[in-house]
Amino acid sequence: GELAKASVVPGAALLQRLQPMVAGMDNSVLAEALASALDCAGPYLYRAAATHARAKALLELALRMKNARQLPEAIDVLVENAVTQCLPAVARARAPPEPELPPARAYVRHLLASLSEANVDRVLVKLRRLPWATDPSVGPFVLEELLRACAGRFEVLPLAASLVSGLHRVHQDVTVRWVDALLAGAHAALARPAHRRLQALQLHVRLLAELFNYRVLGTGDMFALLHAIVPTARPLPGDWYPNYAEGAPAHEE
């Protein structure tokens, strides 16, 4: 599934592999494999122009076969959830309604949604005007909304780090706790990597790097993070690495 989303494996090839799983979904192993593949790449296959028609037909077939067969309850729920979460209309209908935000938090979300180089200074001034001293919940939700605004928008990470740096000068106790929590989360994700968390981990690590550039994160913490990342790194195809063994003296037999 991840290889299909990265265009390493053709989407049509993955759909072809899913057809036997749909036909044999009464087998718990095939049902779990189908659910795992759809959970990983189903929404991508449904939205991609090249595979939309075949993916839609496959999902409709899976629902019809599920309803026609007397599947065990566990498998029935597993397949239904995996299929319906790929269909945008069904997923939106099943999603719980978002709770209404307090006015202050809605205002912060509005400010950060339009964050850009042209208005970063004005946004910082407006964030500083919030009642940080009288309302202890302001700091945590401002930084939480800032992290939310960065999701999927790597170009705003330097701007987000600039805002944290500006807030750090006035509200150091809040920003230090937030950066510590971000750092602890990155170390925990590196210790037990999960494919579903890779994009979030990449976001957090890049944000921590930008915070280091703005001197919010210390050198020791940054090097500790790098030492945790390096053992998990893998070379990409086409990368060149020097063969240090070539320069080493041959061992005598």
Residues 116-127 pLDDT 10s: 999 999 999 999
**C-alpha count within 13 angstroms, C-beta hemisphere, residue 225:** 24
The candidate with the shortest Cα–Cα distance to 177, out of 216, 215, 207, is 216
Q: How far apart are CA 211 and CA 77, in angstroms?
A: 44
Q: What does the mean pLDDT of the chain come to?
A: 82
Count of helices and strands (H, E) across the chain: 14, 0
Contact at 8 Å (CB) between 63 and 83? yes
**C-alpha count within 13 angstroms, C-beta hemisphere, residue 46:** 22
Q: How far apart are CA 150 and CA 115, in angstroms?
A: 10
Q: How far apart are CA 5 and CA 43, in angstroms?
A: 10
- pTM (predicted TM-score): 0.58
pLDDT score, position 234: 61
Residue type for position 62 = A
CA 150 to chain centre: 11
pLDDT score, position 139: 92
Of the listed ranges 42-51, 60-69, 129-138, 236-245, the least confidently predicted one is: 236-245
Of the listed ranges 19-23, 87-91, 95-99, 123-127, the least confidently predicted one is: 87-91
The yes-or-no verdict on residue 190 having pLDDT over 50 is yes
pLDDT score, position 182: 93
CA 152 to chain centre: 8
pLDDT score, position 72: 79
Region of 152 please: left (phi>0), alpha (psi -120 to 50) or beta. left
In tens, the pLDDT along 82-93 reads 887 787 655 554
In tens, the pLDDT along 141-183 reads 999 999 989 887 788 999 999 999 999 999 999 999 999 999 9
Confidence of residue 32 (pLDDT cuts 50, 70, 90): confident
Between CA 128 and CA 134, with CA 129 as vertex, the angle to 5 degrees is: 100
Maximum alpha-carbon separation in the chain: 77
The candidate with the shortest Cα–Cα distance to 142, out of 169, 180, 102, is 102
The yes-or-no verdict on residue 250 having pLDDT over 90 is no
